[in-house]
Structure 1
Amino acid sequence: MDKKKPVIIYGAVAVCVMLAVLIVALFNKGKENKEKKVEEEAQVTLEDLVARVNVSTATPKKGVVSFDSNNLYDELPEIDKYPLAVSKNADIVIEIFTSGEKAGKGNDSWLIDVADKFNSENKTLDNGRTIALNVRSVPSGTAADYIISNKYVPDLYTPSNTLFGDYAAANGGDLELYKDRLVGNTAGLLVKKGTYSDFDSIIKAVQDNKINVGYTNPQTSATGLNLLLTLLEGGTENFTKFNENIPYIAYTTQQMRDSASNGKLDGMITEYQAYINDENLTSLYDFIPFGVRHDNPVYICRKASKDADQLKAIQIVTDYMLSPEMQKIATSKGFNALDDYTSSLSFSGAEVTQALDTYKKEKDNGKDIIAVFVADCSGSMDGEPMNQLKNSLTNGLSYINDNNYVGFVSYDSKVTIELPIAQLDINQRAYFQGAVDSLTAGGSTYTYEALVIAADMIEKERVNHPDAKCMIILLSDGYANGKFQIDDVRDSIAASTIPVYTISYGSDSDKDSLKAIANINEAAAINADSDDIIYKIKSLFNSQL
């Protein structure tokens, strides 16, 4: 037997093992390098991004600032912005404004179903004149503004509760309560199951910074207004202590619900009818009722100007809505539940007005606000979109408080700091207006580069205001084509915690991209056009600035 043969075999095996170890080592090294590269890319700082942006600073020029109060009539869009959900011609047409939970889709369609059935029955007066019921869905607060301004006044108005109806009556609206209830509903705070069992303990937990709860803008939302008034029953300090631990005021109910779904909120406000129809909500949250009941009252508008036939038609319509058959449909959609809940609270229109004034003054709890406006001046914004942008900024300026700190950035193929951040005194207002006046459209769309610069401006400014509430407001059509894309800046913007509110211009704007930007830090994406941009800017600024 050849004794050298085993030695050769063992040597070959050893070489193979060594090669295998080397291959594995090289593979792991390559994997480590790749993972390290990915980690390094994820750790790109805002400062790194700023260094890659071509940015210049403009020489500020003052514009003419108007201190005239904006006219509510002119701010509101034409009523066609809120199209009829049910429409039929007749000798006597009764039009009703309704809050969205009664004139939407699915379980939110009760009043649409009622009107369709009513109209199919071809109701008439004793004299043979035909009657039709038309339904228009308008948010409770917005509907009150239409009635107060006389821009468009329906025959009937059914908000979620009495608060906005009485507010409208106290502020010049020609309306009065006709029926105190159409369908029963209740406002409530949702909290994770098994955590809290009563309203006061939830409020105390928020005040002690133990949980995050979201609520909607009380200037437009009946549920948000109900919460505000309920909190103010305990004094202004009760509200301010609560509000100082609220991450933000949701511009829309959807924004609030998205934040709760993403785990950013431990609770939120809603109505029982919406809660009971959502399996996700009922499985995760307990419903804790609060405030005045949401029994969807009916107000009659301009009663004195209506003739006997119109008044009789209104009686027939309301009796039909309150009929057992229509109430059975309402119950099947989640209304008329929790009827055992009662409230001792009651608020006059004057008290609602005072509460909204208090909210405007106290909502920021004495904290400074730092906001940078970012305006898209690319070629795609030329013409009407640019005119809308400039008009909305000019009109919106009047809704921003003097104690806020405001800056302004514009962009096309480059980024320009039009106005460094400073307190919005008379000089800063004039410089802001001058910057708006000078905007022209042309070039590419460096959206994400501009956001980086705006965020950097805020980061530097809040060194001087560490407790400030910060935000960016981006006005654009959304079509970015610069060197940066959203994935390049998402982590840095998220790390800054600065919410970016987006306002889209143009019917063909890239709303999905703008929504993705807003979603980074749980802000709102607002779709606007020439009809309602000023009103929406007002609502946003009043809730956030």
Structure 2
Amino acid sequence: MAKKSKFFLISGILLVIVFALVYVGVTLTSNLGKTKTQVTAADAAKRLNKLYSNISVSMDTPIKGQIDLNPVDVADSLPEISKFPITVNNTTNNFVEIFSSPEKGGTGVDGWLTEVANEFNKANINVNGKPASVKIRNIASGTGVDYIKSGKYIPDAITPSNELWGEMIKASGVKTQLVTKRLVGNVPGIVLSKAKYDALVEKYGSVNVKTVTEAIANNEFSMGYTDPFASSTGLNFLVTALNTFDSSNILGDKAVQGFEKFQANVPFTASTTIQMRDAAKSGMLDGFVLEYQTFVNASDLKSGYVFTPFGVRHDSPLYALGDLPQEKLDVIKKFADFVAQNKYQNTAKEKGFNSLEEYKSELAVVDGNLLSSAQKLWKEKKNGNKAIAAVFVTDVSGSMAGEPLNRLKESLLKGQKFLGRDNSIGLVSYSSDVTINLPIGKYDTNQQSMFVGAVDSLQASGGTATFDGIVVALKMLEDELAVNPTSKPLIFVLSDGETNEGHTLKDIKSLVETYKVPIYTIGYNANIKALQSISSINEAASINADTDDVVYKIGNLFNVQM
């Protein structure tokens, strides 16, 4: 009996010791983990300060410039229409020009309408006794609508991705005649990782826009969508989400409050579908929006993701525009009939169209004026309670002298009209050294005037220390966040991409990753790959600012991110 008691006593002591060791081990591991995180953050600050101390930084005296308080002139910002390619040329004098959305008016799997239009032009079709043909211009739906609404360029017809754009054209006062509700079938959808899809089904019973917006509002997963000013799927998602909050009034208080709660937990709005897909592939997002035709043609999305349709179908309606002569209307109608033939509808299916035919639009037609108001609401509410703190980092090295610097200035002076008044901005310029031209400040009329003055005074000379400029911008943002911790930091780098002095990408990459500050790059006669390597660190966009469309591109970028 004594032996048993002694055995149990020793066993008990051993158990206590083992438990204590496990407990201590777990505690140490936990504390070490915490310490590591804290040290990493502290090390990042020390690293930033060390890099900053090695840079020659001067402070410029802000000079006020003359500001233009007139609203944005969309027509003035649009490039010449020749910027957008003609994918099919007319072959006769009796022809119509049609704007086509890129998923069907391009090449390859995105070239269905291009191929059908070429067939139409070869078919020797006569309309009113004259041989007829079509010209197809490949242009994003939102951009095409901007040309039409502004009056800068109005084609004979347009086939956007969905009917929402047609309603907006109609509301703008341009005469709009629906020729056919459908050229080819397509559907927008929410694409979720399989794991997240299963989790939502388990909790909510199903996946749709209502359950997705509720889950995002509850901060249960990360999802992004595309710019509703430019993207058909983005616009569709915006109005569908507003409709789920209050179907009786998508702009009422109930809908706005629901949208604000939802939007507060949306980490990412992409300027383009390509940017959205890249962010998804990085693992940054659990879900995003995409058209089905793009989804089925993306080999990297075929496994591991689930597609759920939403909103208005994307059936590529065809509209005639303006006061067209009857013979042009007849050509447009004849083309619509030609496209509807089984032969061409079957080839469309091979390119990913005409699937999910059982899906019916879950949203009624929305008035064009209401759609424009929804876009404005998005612009006002998209950042929630988080104001943006942005630093513009401008390259004023010798290689930017002349036309590149002139275009850079034009970009900022015209693009600054898209910056929200609740945001804060600063300006840095760099050559061999770095100058803080304008400290970060709220973008009120005074700051706007000093921003314009700072941009006007930029002059080019010296070497190119791009990464020194980024380090200074990071330091400015770190100081700003210490005062306004809820701000969302952004950096915009405007450069030709060639770095020959100062720190390197390798020196700052881990630092940028730690701070998680998106760096958007805009290139002027640039080494675009060098700039893309900077933007890709935190999934930001990189723009190749060609001479004739830089203002429009930057306006879109600022509209989305600021």
Question: 1:486-525, aligned counterparts within 5 Å?
Answer: 486-506=505-525, 509-525=526-542
Equivalent residue number for residue 198 of structure 1: 207
Q: Tell me which amino acid in the other structure corresponds to 2:151.
A: N
> Secondary structure of the residue that 1:61 maps to in structure 2?
coil
Q: Which residues of structure 2 form unaligned runs of 5+?
A: 1-39, 201-205, 246-254
Equivalent residue number for residue 323 of structure 1: 341
Equivalent residue in structure 1 for 2:457, among 430, 438, 458: 438
1:374-429 superposed Cα distances (whole Å, 9 cap, x missing partner): 11101111111111111111111211122211100001111000000011111111
Equivalent residue number for residue 119 of structure 2: 117
CA contact 2:464–2:500 (8 Å) conserved in 1 = yes
Q: Tell me which amino acid in the other structure corresponds to 2:344.
A: M
CA contact 1:147–1:174 (8 Å) conserved in 2 = no
> Secondary structure of the residue that 1:455 maps to in structure 2?
helix
CA contact 1:115–1:133 (8 Å) conserved in 2 = yes
Structure 1 residue 541 corresponds to structure 2 residue 550: no
Question: 1:344-383, aligned counterparts within 5 Å?
Answer: 344-346=362-364, 347-383=366-402
> Over aligned residue pairs, what C-alpha RMSD do you find?
1.6
- TM-score normalised over the length of structure 1: 0.89
Q: Which residues of structure 1 form unaligned runs of 5+?
A: 1-38
Question: 1:3-22, aligned counterparts within 5 Å?
Answer: none
> Secondary structure of the residue that 1:343 maps to in structure 2?
coil
In the alignment of these two chains, the number of paired residues is 501
Question: 1:437-476, aligned counterparts within 5 Å?
Answer: 437-476=456-495
Structure 1 residue 309 corresponds to structure 2 residue 327: yes
Q: Tell me which amino acid in the other structure corresponds to 1:162.
A: E
Equivalent residue number for residue 236 of structure 1: 256
* Structure 1 residue 126, shift from structure 2 partner: 4.4
Equivalent residue number for residue 25 of structure 1: none
> Secondary structure of the residue that 2:241 maps to in structure 1?
helix
> Secondary structure of the residue that 2:489 maps to in structure 1?
strand
Equivalent residue number for residue 82 of structure 2: 80
1:243-290 superposed Cα distances (whole Å, 9 cap, x missing partner): 111112111111110111111111110011111222321202100111
CA contact 2:396–2:461 (8 Å) conserved in 1 = yes
CA distance in 2, matches of 1:444, 1:195: 53
Q: Tell me which amino acid in the other structure corresponds to 1:354.
A: S
Q: Tell me which amino acid in the other structure corresponds to 1:358.
A: L
CA contact 1:185–1:335 (8 Å) conserved in 2 = yes
CA contact 2:159–2:316 (8 Å) conserved in 1 = yes
CA distance in 2, matches of 1:287, 1:261: 16
CA distance in 2, matches of 1:436, 1:140: 33
CA distance in 1, matches of 2:532, 2:93: 45
Equivalent residue number for residue 5 of structure 1: none
Equivalent residue in structure 1 for 2:217, among 161, 185, 207: 207
Equivalent residue in structure 1 for 2:65, among 63, 66, 80: 63
Structure 1 residue 273 corresponds to structure 2 residue 284: no
Q: Tell me which amino acid in the other structure corresponds to 1:513.
A: A
Q: Tell me which amino acid in the other structure corresponds to 1:472.
A: I
Structure 1 residue 295 corresponds to structure 2 residue 295: no
> Secondary structure of the residue that 1:130 maps to in structure 2?
strand
Equivalent residue number for residue 159 of structure 2: 158
CA distance in 2, matches of 1:125, 1:289: 39
Question: 1:81-100, aligned counterparts within 5 Å?
Answer: 81-100=83-102
Q: Tell me which amino acid in the other structure corresponds to 1:180.
A: K
1:327-363 superposed Cα distances (whole Å, 9 cap, x missing partner): 1111121111111111341211111011011111111
CA distance in 1, matches of 2:547, 2:171: 30
CA contact 1:368–1:465 (8 Å) conserved in 2 = no
CA contact 2:84–2:138 (8 Å) conserved in 1 = yes
CA distance in 1, matches of 2:326, 2:384: 52
CA distance in 1, matches of 2:411, 2:54: 31
* Structure 1 residue 532, shift from structure 2 partner: 0.7
Equivalent residue number for residue 400 of structure 1: 419
> Secondary structure of the residue that 1:45 maps to in structure 2?
helix
Larger Rg: 1
Question: 1:148-187, aligned counterparts within 5 Å?
Answer: 148-187=149-188
CA contact 2:179–2:336 (8 Å) conserved in 1 = no
Distance 1:343 1:314, change over 3 A: closer
Moved more, 176-185 or 410-419: 176-185
CA distance in 2, matches of 1:485, 1:174: 55
CA contact 2:387–2:487 (8 Å) conserved in 1 = yes
CA contact 2:320–2:329 (8 Å) conserved in 1 = no
Q: Tell me which amino acid in the other structure corresponds to 2:489.
A: C
